Amino acid sequence: MPPKRSFSKLNHYLQNQAENTLSQSVTLLRLIFIIFMVIYLAACLVSISSKLFEFTVIQGILDFPSMKILLTDALFTLIVLAIVKALFIHNSFDYALTFLEIAFVVIIRKLILLDTVPEENWTLLILGVISTAFFVLIIYIHNLKRKWLLEKRIEDKDE
């Protein structure tokens, strides 16, 4: 019977070591990904800044096609920024809310880029309804969060 107990301890020790090693590996990969995304975000900001500078130098006052290009790049940069922000969140509730906000920006970006031709009317309508639902959800969740924080402060004062 004693060999079985020592095998169980050895098995438990190996499982703990494997979990620790995998956890450290995932943390390292997460940090590498964060560094990559921050560099990518910097490249996006440099790109949009150079386009803005180039368009203003060449045209003076921007025309609509130039502004549409800048708006598209700005929305894409906003999406990348939101993803980078999400990488630093450890609370799963805030993480999910951030990705809901990212999805909202992605849908709005798609709505802006779609040409308004009769063939795209249903797509525009569906994307509009979805973006409205996401917006309402985001506002509702922010209000819930604010309410929960207020209730927690009241509970903390009572203690």
What 3-state class would DSSP assign to 83? Answer: helix
pLDDT of residue 22: 92
pLDDT of residue 132: 85
Per-residue pLDDT of the chain (159 residues; tens, 9 = 90+): 455 667 778 788 888 888 999 999 998 998 998 899 999 999 999 999 999 999 889 888 888 888 888 888 888 888 888 888 888 887 777 888 888 888 888 887 777 777 777 777 787 788 788 888 888 888 888 888 889 888 888 888 877
Please state, in angstroms and rounded to a whole number, the distance separating the CA atoms of residues 62 and 113.
Answer: 18
Kindly state the tokens that stand for 12: 């438990």
Q: How many domains does the chain have?
A: 1
pTM exceeds 0.85? no
Phi-psi region of 77 (alpha: psi -120 to 50; beta: other; left: phi over 0): alpha
pLDDT of residue 3: 58
Residue 116: give the domain boundaries: 2-158
Question: Closest by alpha carbon to 34, among 89, 108, 74?
Answer: 89
What 3-state class would DSSP assign to 137? Answer: helix
